[in-house]
């Protein structure tokens, strides 16, 4: 059976939490037992990250983790770039009517979180980085591979991910979702990368972290991700 889903990334993530799937076609109802879907998807993800990478791709991921666009990169040293990211975040919050959003000062940003601007939205984080043209991959889809591979390499517990290419206002964008669950904490992140008119990319991250990330929080960051993607074109027109 093949079913065309409206959003592959979000639907794939949702399958982890389903226990049963009912398919109704005319007068025929078919039921699928998904009680062990989460364990299967986690095992499949771990298998791919362990055996599905080449020496070349591993080297690329290692380089990415240390690069100016990697997760450990500090905020851009150019005040104009920092202001651009801050203004874009503010415009997204306004256009998307995102409540309970406030920019964090440098000393308020949690350890391990990076971005040219970091905002707190309710209990979660929204970051925006301006990735320079000379540092990003030639193909935007390759960025997904680096993001997923980098998060997989850093995770020391159960890891799950999904990634896809999408289109926003005729622009090809990269989207990814990763989650890492250890005994100490869980972190779920939605990534969204979009071409920048002046060159390079805008990279947004929506992050939820804690002892666990319950379904209610997953829904909240999923909805926030959708609002960011829906508002970014109008927000860019404000800059």
Domain boundaries, the chain: 8-39, 45-238
Q: Which residues contact 161 (CB under 8 A, 6 or more apart)?
A: 45, 148, 151, 152, 176, 177, 178, 179
Residue 96 has pLDDT above 80, yes or no: yes
pLDDT of residue 103: 97
Strands 158-168 and 124-131: unpaired
Nearest to residue 174, comparing CAs of 135, 143, 136? 143
Report DSSP state, residue 118: E
Q: What percent of the chain has pLDDT over 70?
A: 100
**pLDDT for position 20:** 85
Q: Which two tokens stand for residue 34?
A: 């998904």
Q: How confident is the model at residue 40 (pLDDT cuts 50, 70, 90)?
A: confident
DSSP code of 37?
H
Q: Residue-wise over 124-160: b if at least 16 C-beta within 10 A, else e?
A: bbbbbbbbbeeebbeebeebbbbbbbbbbbebeebbb
Q: How many other CB atoms sit within 10 Å of the CB of residue 34?
A: 16
**For residue 100, what pLDDT is reported?**
95
147-181 confidence digits (pLDDT tens): 999 999 889 888 988 899 998 888 899 999 999 99
Name the pTM for this structure: 0.85
- Which residues sit opposite 189 in a β-bridge? 178, 207
Give the per-residue pLDDT at 196. Answer: 94
pLDDT above 80 (res 239): yes
CATH hierarchy code of domain 45-238: 3.40.1000
Structure tokens at 12: 């794939």
The answer to whether 73 and 67 have CB atoms below 8 angstroms apart is: yes
Would you give the DSSP letter of residue 14?
H
């Amino acid at each position: 059976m093949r079913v065309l889903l409206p959003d592959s990334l979000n639907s794939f993530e949702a399958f982890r939490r389903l226990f049963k799937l009912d398919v109704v076609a005319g007068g025929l109802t078919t039921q699928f037992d998904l009680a062990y879907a989460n364990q299967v998807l986690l095992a499949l993800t771990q298998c791919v990250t362990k055996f599905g990478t080449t020496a070349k791709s591993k080297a690329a991921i290692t380089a990415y983790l240390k690069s100016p666009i990697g997760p450990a990169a500090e905020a851009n040293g150019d005040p104009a770039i920092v202001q651009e990211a801050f203004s874009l975040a503010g415009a997204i919050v306004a256009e998307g009517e995102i409540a309970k959003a406030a920019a964090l000062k440098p000393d308020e940003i949690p350890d391990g979180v990076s971005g040219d601007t970091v905002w707190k939205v309710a209990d979660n984080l929204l970051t925006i980085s301006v990735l320079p043209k000379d540092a990003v991959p030639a193909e935007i889809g390759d960025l997904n591979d680096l993001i997923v591979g980098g998060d997989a390499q850093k995770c020391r517990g159960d890891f799950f991910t999904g990634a896809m290419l999408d289109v926003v206002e005729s622009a090809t964008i990269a989207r990814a979702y990763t989650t890492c669950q250890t005994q100490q904490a869980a972190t779920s992140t939605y990534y969204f990368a979009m071409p920048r008119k002046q060159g390079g990319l805008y990279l947004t991250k929506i992050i939820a972290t804690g002892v666990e990330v319950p379904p209610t929080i997953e829904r909240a960051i999923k909805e926030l991700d959708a609002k960011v993607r829906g508002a970014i074109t109008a927000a860019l027109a404000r800059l």
